Amino acid sequence: MVLHIRDNRAMKCIYCGGDTEVTNSRPQKRTNAIWRRRLCKNCGNIFTTHELADFSGSWAFLDKNGHIQPFVQEKLFISLYDALRHRDTALNDASALTGTVLNKLLKGISHATIEREQLIVVTAEVLNNFDSVAAVSYRAFHKL
């Protein structure tokens, strides 16, 4: 079972609702997540969680008109999905590539505002490495 949680201290057991403790924790470099093994102090069950950052609350997006908006990860996913529609695995591919784009953006930004041009360049680069047809489709719709 995979759970996305926000607060390490407040995690409750998925089986009985009791308090849990972390018995093992590892950063996941590729997905920028944290894998944790948790033990329930009440019932003794063990389960795993994957904790991910919520960029929509942390990043801002500067659009082509100079307006600052909250960054919406789902919009990135949809634009990738649209470019990958010709593939049988478009849904899974768009999901994985969304994570790849976010990781590249995270490494390349020095502040919490992502400019439209930066997002387009990084996304097109990731798509080009994965599927050149999808990259052409993306660039046709997202012009600099």
Report the C-alpha gap between 119 and 105 in whole angstroms. 8
Predicted local confidence at residue 28, as pLDDT: 81
pLDDT tens-place string over residues 72-121: 999 999 999 999 999 999 999 999 999 899 988 888 777 889 999 999 99
Considering only CA atoms, give the Rg of the chain: 18
Strand order in the sheet with 60-62: 68-70, 60-62, 113-115
- Please enumerate in sequence order all residues whose Cβ is within 8 A of that of 135, keeping only pairs 6 or more positions apart, or say none: 83, 124, 127, 128
- Closest by alpha carbon to 95, among 69, 117, 126, 125? 126
What is the pTM assigned to this prediction?
0.70
Report the C-alpha gap between 13 and 18 in whole angstroms. 5
Report the C-alpha gap between 29 and 71 in whole angstroms. 22
pLDDT tens-place string over residues 15-38: 999 999 999 999 887 767 899 999
pLDDT at 9 over 60: no
- Strands 33-40 vs 20-28: parallel, antiparallel or unpaired: antiparallel
Predicted local confidence at residue 5, as pLDDT: 43
- Please enumerate in sequence order all residues whose Cβ is within 8 A of that of 127, keeping only pairs 6 or more positions apart, or say none: 80, 83, 84, 97, 134, 135, 138
How is residue 2 annotated by DSSP? -
